[in-house]
Structure 1
């Protein structure tokens, strides 16, 4: 933790969602102090990271406690919604100043124009320089938001924040929906930031650029100096020590149990000996009675002492076990998804897509291939996946799927928000019994009451797991699974869980993603670039295509 003066302080903060939904993030007597520099805020999905950023930004009001932030705040939310009718200069927050400048340049010397401009005479130049820095130099200030892509919209919001020059910058999953080129620009902006920054992200490359890690877990923050790699190393040392303490505590409990058992055996022997002496009447009755009472008192004290020692040993074991992290992983068996090598899975013939992209000639996917589909935002990756899934008609050409196909879109809108997790899965597997569905959902970490929560109350990671469960447990089982930006909104533990789930999947896979690190982890066998046309590429070419700087 930095020794500089704090810029963000939370004191005795309490907050809970009004619906009281089980599993919803809440804070009780929460304390936080963040100093200058770049802080990476990490934690499991549902731990409250986004809620905390909204509290810091003033979008949510705590039930009690105080949030203090030194200076102006700039906030980039995870699910950014911009009015498509806004002009770019309006989205950047410079429209009024720009209009006043143009009025003055046209000869209108009204005092109100000079007041609106203030000292910001170079606002247009700064705006264009900032847009260029973020790879948005081609976007005219008079265009509307509806004319730019979702990723460009995120970068425009970041540009607006940089132009406003806030003292504190809060970023919630800023690389979601950004292609590799845009991510590179954002990394550069983060590297150049000299103020206070708190960034929530699952992007390893972004987290390598922070100065410290704040790990939010069970309503408390633990601090680690350095980047994410340094955090992982420190956590590994901590966990090794914690597991060692568990082994020591377990050995102590076993020893205390043996000592208590031995003490009880000895006391039983003494009792039998005393009874034998009493029966034989070898000493006066009053003496034997006194000895018997003394033996009972001594036995009681001895038993209490060993029982207390065993209780203390068990408490130490419980504390040691709590210090060991046991983040659940998805564990699934999907025997009916298997595709044998060489079997035909998908064929595309002379395919032309809506919005112009195309697949020239013949394209075939055979056997349990794992294909990475990469390319810039707006290149047509989602359009291609939706066309294969039968949700869009091609402009020309044919799509032939020879196996059952399931598609998981970015928006995760395969779920009905008004239905529970169990009910959503039942929609895809109507012949399965309620008990069978619940047993399968348990492997996706939806156990007991969690399976009865409405989909609309789930966190981003929970919603992803529920959507993935609905598709993988569908009948018939999918032998071609298509995922569109699957790591968006997932914490690092959930990304690992997804990777382990895909290891159990034996069908063919097409993944559209900008996360090269994740793509490498799921055993991609073929890399394809969509840039007007579909063509072969490599992971190395994809990474080299990312810009090195502004």
Structure 2
């Protein structure tokens, strides 16, 4: 039976920083969700299990074949789905065969089932495309579907998926859930998507304390986790109370001995007791005191060990507490106006055609629509990253956009250097104070952006955007919760709820849109 086994697994970054150690895990033909806070090593674990990265300690035994869903961030202008699948040359042979131009050796090696298998894989993810479709013409969600189809194409024993629902619209999410429900092999999935995690057979939680496996889905994991956490806190409270009692009794014993010694000294000084008897009593008192002291020390050591053991079961978590400066946007002020905007990637196939919309401050608007309807390209037009073919765009002077890949950040610079580049004039104290709100404290603020996990990178982008001394009056967010852990999402929701500027957001997370107070939805599919 195919299986993946990790034995005493450890991995450290290039500078020697340990990410995790002594992990022992096994996976078979089941659906397993990997969960944990950003930066704890989930993606690194997935890369180790796939063989893309070598462990710094321990070993991994892979019995079977593995395919990995890779997030497609940058593509060449001519890259096609066939290139993504690695079958461009084989399809070229079929085209030459159809034209009567193939050689005998090519005809002998031609795979005549290739196109049908390609069409089937794409159809299973709900993507209307073929091998010649250029990746640059696809939206982020459509690229995710293409990548998922590519991973399935080889019919592996194990699918390894890193945040597979990122960028997917409702149709794409439904297709993914249906695919996993019918998948007979193993699937190891890193995700913060609660709907997806509810479909799992088991959950592996990765924390600073190590990895622990829980049978069942997300709800069952959460229920079990709550019981464990309550038990650990109870045991810690009991141990600390016992330690306090022992230390208090020990102190009382010391004080009693001091009083007895003082009384004996006073008697001896008055000559009320023969010297030989006084000496014997003193010796017995010292022996008895020594016995009590040793017993108290043993009890104290045992209580401290019990408290430490209980404390080790509790992960120390640092929460995000975010407060924002005012944007100064007046109520009812004109924020954004688009008049008959047409734009796209190919001149003969516009994605947007004659789009008009307006926003006033401090309105909160969500752009919705299926993958490929033009949500991201519209945001890029508004932010000035793409020039429309026709129409006009007008907006307030202070505008900021954070996209799905945090492209505003320079990967060669540290988080602090990026903050000061994006917010010129900020001194080191202001920079450090702002970043600390987003859990980039001390050396974490000096870490190069290129070394951050996906969730950490999004958090850094949000820090550089939201924690500015003068926040934008219009904040544009393209799938801001992608890669963020659930605790970070809750903190960002609270921060955006307190933000007094205008928001234009693309997100497939309905709960997130509701939490940040979106009041208007614009459907680009209509």
Say whether the fold is shared (TM-score over 0.5). yes
**Residue in 1 aligned with 2:360?**
365
Residue 496, structure 1, aligned to residue 490, structure 2? yes
Residue 14, structure 1, aligned to residue 10, structure 2? yes
**Residue in 1 aligned with 2:463?**
469
In structure 2, distance between residues paired with 1:257 and 1:320: 19
Q: Which runs of 5+ in 2 are unaligned?
A: 345-349
Residue 293, structure 1, aligned to residue 283, structure 2? yes
Which residue of 322, 327, 333 corresponds with 1:332?
322
Q: How many residues align?
A: 519
| 1:86 CA displacement | 4.4
Residue 283, structure 1, aligned to residue 273, structure 2? yes
**Residue in 2 aligned with 1:165?**
155
Q: Taking structure 1 as reference, are residues 84 and 255 closer, same or farther at Cα in structure 2, changes over 3 Å only?
A: same
In structure 2, distance between residues paired with 1:291 and 1:159: 89
Contact 1:9/1:69 (<8 A) preserved: yes
In structure 1, distance between residues paired with 2:107 and 2:390: 55
Residue 459, structure 1, aligned to residue 461, structure 2? no
**Residue in 2 aligned with 1:261?**
251
In structure 2, distance between residues paired with 1:491 and 1:81: 24
Matches within 5 A, 1:150-549: 150-218=140-208, 220-337=210-327, 339=329, 342-355=331-344, 356=350, 357=352, 363-367=358-362, 369-402=363-396, 404-531=398-525
Contact 2:339/2:393 (<8 A) preserved: no
Q: Taking structure 1 as reference, are residues 428 and 86 closer, same or farther at Cα in structure 2, changes over 3 Å only?
A: closer
Q: Taking structure 1 as reference, are residues 110 and 436 closer, same or farther at Cα in structure 2, changes over 3 Å only?
A: closer
Tell which deviates more after alignment, 425-434 or 190-199.
Answer: 425-434
CA distances 1:140-162 after superposition (whole Å, capped 9, x unpaired): 33344344334333322322332
| 1:95 CA displacement | 4.8
Q: Taking structure 1 as reference, are residues 29 and 123 closer, same or farther at Cα in structure 2, changes over 3 Å only?
A: same
RMSD of Structure 2 on Structure 1 (CA): 2.8
| 1:236 CA displacement | 1.5
Tell which deviates more after alignment, 393-402 or 177-186.
Answer: 393-402
In structure 2, distance between residues paired with 1:116 and 1:400: 55
**Residue in 2 aligned with 1:536?**
none
In structure 2, distance between residues paired with 1:129 and 1:389: 38
**Residue in 1 aligned with 2:347?**
none
Tell which deviates more after alignment, 156-165 or 393-402.
Answer: 393-402
In structure 2, distance between residues paired with 1:362 and 1:152: 25
Q: Taking structure 1 as reference, are residues 418 and 101 closer, same or farther at Cα in structure 2, changes over 3 Å only?
A: closer
| 1:129 CA displacement | 2.4
In structure 2, distance between residues paired with 1:337 and 1:68: 54
The two structures have a TM-score, normalised by structure 2, of: 0.89
| 1:109 CA displacement | 9.2
In structure 1, distance between residues paired with 2:76 and 2:155: 23
Contact 1:350/1:396 (<8 A) preserved: no
Which residue of 42, 62, 65 corresponds with 1:49?
42
In structure 2, distance between residues paired with 1:379 and 1:61: 40
In structure 1, distance between residues paired with 2:50 and 2:303: 45
Contact 1:327/1:493 (<8 A) preserved: no
| 1:103 CA displacement | 6.7
The two structures have a TM-score, normalised by structure 1, of: 0.85
CA distances 1:142-188 after superposition (whole Å, capped 9, x unpaired): 34434433433332232233221111111111222323322221221
Q: Taking structure 1 as reference, are residues 440 and 210 closer, same or farther at Cα in structure 2, changes over 3 Å only?
A: same
| 1:219 CA displacement | 6.3
Contact 2:343/2:390 (<8 A) preserved: no
Which residue of 123, 127, 143 corresponds with 1:132?
123
Q: Taking structure 1 as reference, are residues 306 and 512 closer, same or farther at Cα in structure 2, changes over 3 Å only?
A: same
